Amino acid sequence: MAFSVPLLAAASENEAVRLAYDAMALGADAIMCQWSPRFISAATEAGVPVQGHAGLVPRKSTWTGGLRAVGKTLDEALWVYREIKALEDAGAYAVEVEVIPEGLLAEISKRTSLLTSSIGGGNGGDIQFLFADDILGNNPPPYPRHSKQYCSLFKLKSRCKPSGWPVFSPSSTTSERWISGTWTACRCPGRPDRRISRGGRG
């Protein structure tokens, strides 16, 4: 099981290692993160398996012009490839590659030792990664274009509530919106201000 560690939770290599160890202490087999290769290298050198993130990285999307597909031009394709190779050099075992062309991901997958996890990259990766929230329609539309809804739990839950009741309380967070049992929020031991998500978005 891989725990998602938030990008902004670590501001130094030492903090990255500490958070990675905290995740392992909570039962993680690995961590997944949007950290730089420098932070990932620190964690992997400490013996923690790490999955990186490339392509569209939501928390870094300012660098790629917002929340959009990347890798459609030659320059962007080369940039994505270099980002993935940098994660490989940092010791990562896998990379989540988000919203890049299927053909590009297929070619990159042939040229890296990393396990490539495709999210919005079609069948070009070694595996496909989809959020239960999206494929089960747990939240109101719109949904990502690369996801398919097999049902609408949002509509079902709306019908189960008396008219006028909110489906979720105004103070509920994304983690609290997940169906009970499919997502667990864990607090880092000794660090109540930091959260590590188990199986959810970081």
pLDDT, tens only, 36-45: 999 999 999 9
Residue 98 annotated to the active site: yes
pLDDT, tens only, 52-101: 999 999 889 998 899 899 999 999 999 999 999 999 999 999 999 999 99
pTM of the model: 0.75
Phi, psi of 15 (to 5 degrees): -65, -35
Residue 30 corresponds to which tokens in the numbers above?
């690995």
Note the pLDDT of residue 182: 38
Beta bridge partners of 53: 96
Q: Which of 83, 96, 98, 176 is labelled catalytic?
A: 98
Note the pLDDT of residue 148: 85
CA distance 128 to 28: 21
Please tell me the class of the 2-130+183-198 domain.
Answer: alpha beta
